[in-house]
Amino acid sequence: MDSGLGGLSVVRLIQKQLPNESIVFVGDEGHFPYGTKPQAEVRKFVLKIGEYFEKYPVKLMVIACNTATAAALATAKKNYPFQY
């Protein structure tokens, strides 16, 4: 996931390394940019995306946004069973 579409470059790299895996990507352009938002708000965005990912057989969640990683990685790890 990313706050916009920049994470698609990460998706391309993952596809090269794991060509047999399916990928679900969320580019949260509705709340872009995350860098101008309070951490608590960014954390809510990431947790909402985590809830969305729970609908799929997700093995790994990549947070391709530095702001989201800083604001929500620890919380996401506590709330969702994905690898990070």
Quick: pLDDT tens for 47-63: 999 999 999 999 999 99
Report the phi/psi class of residue 25: left, alpha or beta, with left for phi > 0 and alpha for psi in -120 to 50: beta
Here the tokens at position 61 are 């969640």
Quick: pLDDT tens for 60-74: 999 999 999 999 999
* Whole-prediction pTM: 0.91
Predicted confidence band of residue 84 (pLDDT cuts 50, 70, 90): confident
Quick: pLDDT tens for 2-36: 999 999 999 999 999 999 999 999 999 999 999 99
